[in-house]
């Protein structure tokens, strides 16, 4: 999360509290404390704050004046900043592409299990529930026999075991219900090809718009567009 101090730094500069004659003049655009990604266009750390893709805060200087100085300098696009920026953005795209592939694989597995009737997690739980039910029925019959024989303490001890098995069975039933509910919803889902998020097919337009305007989606869309722009700029510069 960007702190209030960081936000003021970006709006007013890190020297905002200094008098005019105290302004630092020793920080140049090529100083190690300056964010080189910011000089090239933007800092990726600012794109995903408070999302699942949050990259954490950037501790380096983000200063619009320094960026302008860099763009006007004779060393603009000659010191390798853009190539480093491109490599970093490509690594972020590679990560989201892996997430997209995992999402497709997950949906495909769920759909295959539904169509083939294979015993997935739900089927296995149902088998365990049936085994527990059979055990409970046998124990209840034994308890009834012990009661008729006057063996009250043994019957009570066995009854505690029955209660434990019933609790275990109830837990499995609730888990099965949750899995079935999720599987039913998952059948109607798709993967966003930009950010890897799961989307409900045919969802309300307002929610689709919220997704498209969300930080994560817009962040990866910006990265993808910037990668193409950088490739073209670097290609032209090489020619």
Cβ 103 vs Cβ 198: under 8 Å: yes
Helix ranges, the chain (H): 4-12, 36-40, 64-72, 81-116, 121-148, 152-186, 205-212, 215-238
pLDDT at 15: 56
Write out pLDDT tens, residues 99-112: 999 998 888 887 77
Write out pLDDT tens, residues 23-56: 445 789 999 999 999 999 999 999 999 888 899 9
Could you tell me the pTM of the whole model? Answer: 0.60
pLDDT at 152: 79
- Buried-exposed string 46-55: b where 16+ CB fall within 10 A, e elsewhere: bbbeeeebee
| C-alpha–C-alpha distance, residues 74 and 210, integer Å | 43
For residue 74, give every residue at least 6 positions away whose Cβ sits within 8 Å of its Cβ, in sequence order, or none.
Answer: none
| C-alpha–C-alpha distance, residues 161 and 214, integer Å | 52
Write out pLDDT tens, residues 147-199: 888 887 888 888 888 888 888 888 877 776 655 555 555 458 889 999 999 89
pLDDT at 5: 56
Instruction: Give the model's confidence band at 20: pLDDT under 50 very low, under 70 low, under 90 confident, else very high.
Output: very low
Compute how many other C-beta atoms are within 10 angstroms of the C-beta atom of residue 124: 13
pLDDT at 69: 93
DSSP helix/strand/coil, 191 = strand
């Amino acid at each position: 999360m960007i702190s209030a101090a960081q936000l003021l730094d970006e709006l007013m500069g890190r020297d905002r509290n200094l008098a005019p004659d105290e302004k630092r003049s020793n920080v140049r655009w090529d100083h190690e404390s300056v964010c080189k990604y910011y000089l090239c266009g933007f800092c990726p750390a600012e794109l995903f704050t408070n999302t699942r893709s949050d990259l954490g805060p950037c501790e380096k200087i983000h200063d619009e004046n320094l960026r302008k100085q860099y763009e006007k300098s004779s060393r603009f696009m000659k010191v390798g900043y853009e190539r480093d920026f491109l490599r970093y953005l490509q690594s972020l795209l590679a990560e989201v592409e892996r997430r997209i592939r995992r999402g497709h694989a997950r949906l495909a597995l769920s759909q295959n299990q539904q169509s083939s009737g294979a015993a997935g997690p739900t089927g296995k739980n149902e088998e365990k529930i049936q085994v527990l039910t059979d055990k409970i029925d046998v124990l209840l019959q034994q308890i009834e026999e012990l009661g008729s024989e006057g063996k009250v303490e043994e019957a009570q001890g066995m009854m505690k075991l029955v209660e434990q098995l019933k609790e275990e069975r109830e837990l499995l039933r609730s888990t099965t219900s949750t899995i079935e509910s999720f599987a039913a919803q998952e059948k109607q889902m798709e993967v966003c090809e930009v950010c890897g998020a799961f989307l409900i097919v045919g969802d309300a337009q307002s929610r689709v718009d919220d997704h498209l305007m969300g930080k994560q989606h817009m962040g990866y869309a910006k990265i993808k567009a910037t990668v193409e722009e950088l490739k073209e700029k670097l290609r032209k510069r090489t020619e």
